[in-house]
C-alpha cells in the first residue's frame, strides 16, 4: 500500500463522498478513511429515517379528516408501533446501502479507522503515517447530550438511538424544538406516544418571524403540550425522569435530546495544522472554497459547523473535491439559503431572514391559509406565509412560512430569490386553480400593494416592436 496520496478524505459521509466523486475525476491515488459506521448521517440517522417516520405519522393522522370527507371506520385504525419502526429501519438500510455502494468498490483506497492529523500534509490511521498533497476533513458531527444527562443512559435517546427502538415511552419528553426536535416530536405524538415538548426559546424550528412561529406553535400544540421559554432540567425519579422547565414539572419515561449536534473533531489533531483555532478548537475556513487558511486542507460538511444541511454538505464536498487537486484554489458561489422543517404544516426559511433586514428598507407581504380554497378542499387550511421584498425595487429577499405544501412553496421561492426576481416577476408567472400557490400569490399581491399601490396589474402590456421581453 502506498504511503503517499494525491488526496486523503477523512469521512465517508455526504461531504466526503461528494469530495470523492470530484477527486476521482483527477486521480486514482486517493484514500478515503472512515471512523465508525459507514453510511451518511442523512441516510443512517438523519433526514431519511425521520422522513420515513413522518410519512407514517401523517398518513395515520389524516384519519382525523376521514369523517368529514365521508369516510367511515377511522376509529378502527391503530398504530403497530414496532411495525412502523421496522419499516423505518428496513427502508433506511436500503438508503444506507446505496451510499455504501460508492466505497465498497474501492478496495484498499477505502479504509476503516480513526484518523489523526499529524500536520497539514500528514495523517495517522491505524498506527500508520500517510502523507497527501491535499487533505479533506469531512468527519461529520454527533448529537450533543449535556453532561448531566449522560447518567440517564438509555432513558435519553438521540437520533443515533431513536430509530433502533421497538417501543418508546409511553411518556416521552422531547427537549429541544429546533428543526429536528419539532418534526420528531410531532411525528411521535401522532403515532400515539405521549409527548411533552420543551424548548429554551419561544421561537421554534429555526423561525425568526413571530407571526409564522405562532402558526407553528398552534399546530404543534394540537398534538402535544408545549413548554417553552425556560431551560429544561432532568432528574431521576422512581425509575422515570422528571423534567422541570420554569414552573412546569412533567414525569416521563424517556427523553429525546434534540439540543443540537457537535463537530467530530475530538482527537482529530486540528492543532497540528499550524493555524489558529477558536475557543471550540475549530480553525477558520473560507465557506466559498472550504479551504483552511492557505493550506491544501479543506473542511466540508457538518464538521465545519457552518450549514449543517445535506444539500450544503454535498456542495461543500464538491467544492473541496474540486479544489483539492486544482492548480488554483477557487471560490464558489454558495446557494440561496433554504431550510425546511417537515412538520405539518411544513416550515421553511428561504433567503434572507428578517433578522438581517432593516425596516423600512423592506416590505412584508403576508397571507393566511385559514380560508384558502384548495387548502379547505383538502381539509388542511392552516398556516401562513410571509415574504420580504426590497422596498425600493421589489426584489424578493426572503420568506418564512408554515403552510400546507410548504416544502414546495419554499422551492419556488428559493428559485425566485436565487434569480433575483421581483414580486412583479412572480406575479407574471402562471398560477393554476385551485392550488396552494394561490395562497403564495395572495402574499405576493399584499407585497405588491405595499410596493406599487392597489391598482398595479399582474398583467404587463405587450412590448412594442413585437419583442418578447416582459417589461
Residues in 280-339 that interact with its own copies by CB under 8 A: 288, 309-311, 315, 318-319, 322, 330-333, 335-339
In angstroms, the CA 253 to CA 239 distance is 8
Instruction: Report the site for its own copies in 336-365 (rule: CB under 8 A).
Output: 336-340
Q: Which of 373, 391, 395, 449 binds its own copies (CB under 8 A)?
A: 373
Nearest to 396 by CA among 376, 373, 412: 412
Peptide bond into 345 cis (omega under 30): yes
In whole angstroms, the minimum distance from the beta carbon of 244 to its own copies comes to: 34
Strands 156-157 and 248-252: unpaired
Q: 58 or 131, CB closer to its own copies?
A: 58
In whole angstroms, the minimum distance from the beta carbon of 123 to its own copies comes to: 27
Q: 123 or 436, CB closer to its own copies?
A: 436
In whole angstroms, the minimum distance from the beta carbon of 48 to its own copies comes to: 6
**Stretch near its own copies under the rule CB under 8 A, chosen from 27-35, 179-187, 221-229, 402-410:** 402-410
Q: List, in sequence order, the alpha helices (H) in 196-276.
A: 210-221
End-to-end CA distance of the chain: 64
**Stretch near its own copies under the rule CB under 8 A, chosen from 124-132, 171-179, 266-274, 419-427:** 419-427
Q: Which of 9, 12, 31, 52 binds its own copies (CB under 8 A)?
A: 52
Instruction: Report the site for its own copies in 437-466 (rule: CB under 8 A).
Output: 437, 455, 457-463
- 432 CB burial (10 A radius; 0-12, 13-18, 19+): exposed
Whether residue 111 contacts residue 36, with contact meaning beta carbons closer than 8 Å, is answered with no
Across 383-436, the runs of DSSP E, i.e. the strands, are: 384-390, 396-403
Q: Is 431 left (phi over 0), alpha (psi -120 to 50) or beta?
A: beta
Interface with its own copies (CB under 8 A), residue total: 92
Q: 278 or 294, CB closer to its own copies?
A: 294
**Stretch near its own copies under the rule CB under 8 A, chosen from 48-56, 154-162, 194-202, 353-361:** 48-56
**Stretch near its own copies under the rule CB under 8 A, chosen from 112-120, 167-175, 376-384, 395-403:** 376-384
Q: What is the DSSP letter of 343?
A: S
Peptide bond into 390 cis (omega under 30): no
In whole angstroms, the minimum distance from the beta carbon of 210 to its own copies comes to: 24
**Stretch near its own copies under the rule CB under 8 A, chosen from 51-59, 229-237, 238-246, 389-397:** 51-59
Q: Which of 3, 108, 147, 433 binds its own copies (CB under 8 A)?
A: 433
Phi, psi (rounded to 5 degrees) for 20: -55, -45
Q: 156 or 375, CB closer to its own copies?
A: 375
Nearest to 350 by CA among 422, 303, 411: 411
Instruction: Report the site for its own copies in 59-78 (rule: CB under 8 A).
Output: 59-60, 62, 65-66, 68-74, 76-78
Q: 263 or 351, CB closer to its own copies?
A: 351
Helix axes 179-190, 210-221, angle to 10 degrees: 30
For residue 338, CA distances in Å to 52, 161, 406, 410 come to 21, 28, 12, 8
Q: 144 or 332, CB closer to its own copies?
A: 332
Q: Which of 10, 15, 19, 56 binds its own copies (CB under 8 A)?
A: 56
In angstroms, the CA 346 to CA 404 distance is 6
Q: 86 or 126, CB closer to its own copies?
A: 86
Whether residue 263 contacts residue 282, with contact meaning beta carbons closer than 8 Å, is answered with yes
Instruction: Report the site for its own copies in 89-108 (rule: CB under 8 A).
Output: 91, 95
Q: 280 or 333, CB closer to its own copies?
A: 333
Q: Which residues pair with 255 in a beta bridge?
A: 156, 173
Instruction: Report the site for its own copies in 117-146 (rule: CB under 8 A).
Output: none
Q: 143 or 406, CB closer to its own copies?
A: 406
Instruction: Report the site for its own copies in 18-37 (rule: CB under 8 A).
Output: 25
Q: 267 or 434, CB closer to its own copies?
A: 434
Q: 247 or 294, CB closer to its own copies?
A: 294
Whether residue 405 contacts residue 352, with contact meaning beta carbons closer than 8 Å, is answered with no
Helix axes 47-61, 81-104, angle to 10 degrees: 150
Strands 254-257 and 156-157: parallel
In whole angstroms, the minimum distance from the beta carbon of 451 to its own copies comes to: 19
**Stretch near its own copies under the rule CB under 8 A, chosen from 82-90, 220-228, 232-240, 247-255:** 82-90
In whole angstroms, the minimum distance from the beta carbon of 374 to its own copies comes to: 7
Q: Which residues pair with 336 in a beta bridge?
A: none
Whether residue 282 contacts residue 270, with contact meaning beta carbons closer than 8 Å, is answered with yes
In angstroms, the CA 390 to CA 257 distance is 39
Instruction: Give the number of other Cβ atoms within 10 Å of residue 110's Cβ.
Output: 19
Q: Which of 357, 367, 409, 423 binds its own copies (CB under 8 A)?
A: 409
Amino acid at each position: 500500500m502506498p504511503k503517499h496520496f494525491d488526496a486523503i478524505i477523512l469521512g465517508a459521509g455526504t461531504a466526503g463522498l461528494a469530495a470523492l466523486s470530484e477527486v476521482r475525476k483527477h486521480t486514482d491515488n486517493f484514500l478515503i478513511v472512515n471512523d465508525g459506521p459507514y453510511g451518511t448521517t442523512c441516510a443512517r440517522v438523519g433526514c431519511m429515517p425521520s422522513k420515513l417516520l413522518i410519512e407514517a405519522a401523517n398518513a395515520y393522522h389524516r384519519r382525523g379528516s376521514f369523517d368529514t370527507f365521508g369516510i367511515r371506520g377511522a376509529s378502527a385504525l391503530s398504530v403497530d408501533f414496532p411495525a412502523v419502526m421496522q419499516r423505518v429501519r428496513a427502508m433506511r438500510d436500503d438508503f444506507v446501502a446505496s451510499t455504501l455502494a460508492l466505497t465498497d468498490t474501492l478496495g484498499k483506497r477505502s479504509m476503516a479507522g480513526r484518523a489523526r492529523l499529524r500536520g497539514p500534509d500528514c495523517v495517522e490511521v491505524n498506527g500508520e503515517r500517510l502523507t497527501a498533497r491535499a487533505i479533506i476533513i469531512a468527519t461529520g458531527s454527533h448529537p450533543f447530550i449535556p453532561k448531566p444527562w449522560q447518567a440517564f443512559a438509555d432513558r435519553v435517546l438521540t437520533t443515533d438511538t431513536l430509530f433502533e427502538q421497538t417501543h418508546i415511552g409511553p411518556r416521552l419528553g422531547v427537549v429541544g424544538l429546533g428543526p429536528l426536535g419539532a418534526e420528531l416530536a410531532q411525528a411521535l405524538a401522532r403515532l400515539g406516544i405521549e409527548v411533552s415538548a420543551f424548548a429554551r426559546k419561544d421561537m421554534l424550528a429555526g423561525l425568526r418571524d413571530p407571526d409564522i412561529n405562532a402558526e407553528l406553535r398552534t399546530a404543534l400544540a394540537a398534538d402535544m403540550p408545549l413548554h417553552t421559554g425556560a431551560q429544561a432540567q432532568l432528574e431521576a425519579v422512581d425509575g422515570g425522569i422528571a423534567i422541570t422547565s420554569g414552573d412546569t414539572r412533567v414525569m416521563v419515561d424517556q427523553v429525546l435530546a434534540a439540543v443540537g449536534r457537535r463537530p467530530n473533531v475530538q482527537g482529530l489533531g486540528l492543532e497540528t495544522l499550524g493555524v489558529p483555532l477558536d475557543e471550540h478548537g475549530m480553525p477558520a475556513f473560507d465557506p466559498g472554497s472550504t479551504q483552511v487558511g492557505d493550506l491544501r486542507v479543506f473542511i466540508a460538511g457538518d464538521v465545519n459547523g457552518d450549514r449543517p444541511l445535506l444539500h450544503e454538505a454535498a456542495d461543500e464536498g464538491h467544492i473541496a473535491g474540486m479544489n483539492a487537486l486544482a492548480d488554483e484554489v477557487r471560490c464558489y458561489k454558495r446557494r440561496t439559503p433554504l431550510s425546511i422543517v417537515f412538520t405539518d404544516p411544513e416550515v421553511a426559511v428561504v433567503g434572507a431572514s428578517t433578522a438581517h433586514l432593516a425596516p423600512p428598507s423592506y416590505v412584508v407581504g403576508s397571507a393566511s391559509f385559514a380560508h384558502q380554497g384548495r387548502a379547505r378542499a383538502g381539509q388542511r387550511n392552516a398556516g401562513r406565509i410571509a415574504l420580504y421584498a426590497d422596498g425600493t425595487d421589489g426584489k424578493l429577499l426572503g420568506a418564512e412560512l408554515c403552510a400546507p405544501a410548504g416544502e414546495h412553496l419554499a422551492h419556488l421561492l428559493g428559485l425566485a430569490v436565487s434569480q433575483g426576481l421581483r414580486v412583479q416577476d412572480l406575479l407574471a408567472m402562471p398560477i393554476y386553480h385551485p392550488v396552494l400557490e394561490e395562497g403564495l400569490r395572495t402574499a405576493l399581491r399584499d407585497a405588491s400593494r405595499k410596493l406599487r399601490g392597489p391598482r398595479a396589474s399582474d398583467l404587463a402590456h405587450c412590448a412594442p416592436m413585437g419583442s418578447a421581453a416582459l417589461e
